[in-house]
Amino acid sequence: MRPLTPPAVAAYLDGLSRLPHPVLARIRAEGLAAGVPIVDPLTGALLHGLTRAIGATKVLEIGTAIGYSTVWMATALPSSSLLVSLERDQTRATAARAYLAEAGLDDRVNVMIGEADRYLHKLAGPFDLIFQDGDKTQYGPMLAKLAPLLRPGGLLVTDNILWDGEVVPGFTDRPHKNTTDTAAIAAYNAALAADPRFTTSWLPVGDGVAIAIKLGAGD
């Protein structure tokens, strides 16, 4: 597999990064050992910075896994904030809850177990930031539900928009990803790029991150 970021560059940037909480190192180690897909540390740091920069106090995450990205964002939130994180895998959600409690962040994070789709219509927005990192085939269909939950000026951040480069024509000789997921991400990227409700930045950080700013009435 051809890396999106040269390994020496990734290692150099990792070396410059500071963890906002030491538990992140253990969650990452567990994720890597158990084959749980979690964001790249540079993506985690980006999420932390964005959350802090916009002064977010209400955040929604699709796909908690064992809480790695959740902790990156929660450590950027004031204690009176709310981060709702949705995870359909009970074992992973339980592990995430334990890590969040250990880090003293369970006062501001609510990990809800079940299909995200089942919760979305029950959630009271608006959210300042939504992090989409769930089922890749749901990225497109879920966009219509997530956009109204975001405040004007809020951020829809999406991970895996490059999918090991497999959405990029000619980048990979031997694709190894599920082709249904690859097609779904490519379609989502095209839809988000054309969506008049958002202006989007496309970053080759980690596995590719899209930062879509929801436009307001005056934009």
Distances (CA, A) of 188 to 160, 185, 199, 209: 11, 5, 14, 13
Q: Alpha-carbon distance 218 to 176, whole Å?
A: 44
- Are residues 72 and 104 in contact, defined by beta-carbon separation less than 8 angstroms? no
Instruction: Tell the residue number behind the tokens 């202006």, with chain if given.
Output: 199
Exactly one of 51, 75, 132, 138 binds ligand SAM (CB under 6 A); that residue is 138
Give the binding range for ligand SAM (CB under 6 A) out of 52-60, 97-105, 127-135, 195-203. Answer: 127-135
Exactly one of 39, 105, 155, 156 binds ligand SAM (CB under 6 A); that residue is 39
Q: Which is nearer to ligand SAM, 153 or 191 (CB)?
A: 191
Q: Alpha-carbon distance 128 to 63, whole Å?
A: 17
118 burial via Cβ count (<10 Å: 0-12, 13-18, 19+): exposed
Give the binding range for ligand SAM (CB under 6 A) out of 87-95, 168-176, 188-196, 203-211. Answer: 87-95
Exactly one of 4, 46, 59, 65 binds ligand SAM (CB under 6 A); that residue is 65
Length of the chain counted residue by residue: 219
Report residue 192 as tokens. 């988000």
Exactly one of 115, 148, 201, 216 binds ligand SAM (CB under 6 A); that residue is 115
Q: Which is nearer to ligand SAM, 147 or 215 (CB)?
A: 147
Give the number of other CB atoms < 10 A from CB of residue 56: 22
Residue 135: half-sphere exposure toward Cβ, Cα within 13 Å: 14
Q: Does 37 bind ligand SAM (CB under 6 A)?
A: yes
Exactly one of 92, 97, 108, 214 binds ligand SAM (CB under 6 A); that residue is 92
Using alpha carbons only, give the angle 145, 151, 156 rounded to the nearest 5 degrees.
Answer: 60
Q: Residue with the closest Cβ to ligand SAM?
A: 63
Distances (CA, A) of 14 to 5, 19, 41: 12, 10, 7
Cβ 171 to ligand SAM, closest distance in Å?
Answer: 21
- Are residues 102 and 84 in contact, defined by beta-carbon separation less than 8 angstroms? no
Q: Which is nearer to ligand SAM, 181 or 215 (CB)?
A: 181
Question: Binding string, 171-210, against ligand SAM, x = CB under 6 A?
Answer: ----------------------------------------
Question: Binding string, 141-160, against ligand SAM, x = CB under 6 A?
Answer: --------------------
Interacting residues toward ligand SAM by CB under 6 A: 37-39, 63, 65, 68-69, 86-89, 92, 115-117, 133-135, 138
